Amino acid sequence: MLKLYIGNKNYSSWSMRPWVLLRQAGIPFEEVMVRFDSFDADSQFKTTLQGLSPTGKVPLLVDGELAVWDTLAIAEYVAEQFPAKQLWPADKAARARARSVCAEMHSGFTALRSACPMNIEASLPDVGALIWRDKPAVRADVYRLETMWTELLQAHGGPMLFGEFSVADAYFAPVCMRLLSYVLPVSPSIAAYVQRVQELPGVQDWIAAARAEADFLDFEEPYRLNR
């Protein structure tokens, strides 16, 4: 059985992507949660991953003797291993587009990710309002998301970005969580897509577990003044 190493569900956006992909697709796997105690070389987190991954990061997928790290590589590996699940769009052009937008998320949207770290348990509308007011790069990132998602939903008819659930929706699920936690303004059609992602059974399972953790890490919440 596949084994997926992940970090804290409340905070680990990178871990959320492959976990949601596997769960939503109905692919069985064993979860190994490695707590974010710290990221120092001698931390329990790094010690646990030592010898498993050369990067010492999560997520990490282990299949027998094979270790696959990085969310895009994991998504590609799972799609190859389970072709019947159709995790990428069947159409060649749509598939190329899906890979393109996932790669864009992978390497871009740095302002949004930096200013609004994922925190599923939190409700931070006041923080979000200040970020929206003071950080034009965040507004630009959200505008790009709006444009991208609107084009894809119109082109493929919804309810997900490429019609049916795909890697792309799993990839953008953590962004949806950020938009919700920080209450960043989006159009009604995009808010409806975010809601549909939130209601996916795989995402609901992740959210429920994230809220149940009650493992609050100060270094993951630099903006939080009270709870």
Q: Global pTM?
A: 0.94
Chain center to CA of 75: 12
Gap between the Cα atoms of 28 and 52, Å rounded: 21
User: 2-85 in CATH: which number?
Assistant: 3.40.30.10
Give me the amino acid identity at 45: F
Closest by Cα among 32, 12, 29 to 21: 29
| Stretch (H or E) spanning 66 | strand 66-69
pLDDT band (50, 70, 90) for residue 169: very high
Q: Which CATH class is domain 92-211?
A: mainly alpha
User: What residues does 164 pair with on adjacent strands?
Assistant: 162
Report CA dihedral (188, 192, 197, 200) to the nearest 10 degrees. Answer: 160
User: What residues does 69 pair with on adjacent strands?
Assistant: 60
Are the folds of 2-85 and 92-211 the same?
no
What's the pLDDT tens digit per position in 189-225?
A: 999 999 999 999 999 999 999 999 987 777 667 776 5
Q: What is the mean pLDDT of residues 148-156?
A: 98
Structure tokens that stand for 34 in this block: 């490695």
Domain residue limits, the chain: 2-85, 92-211
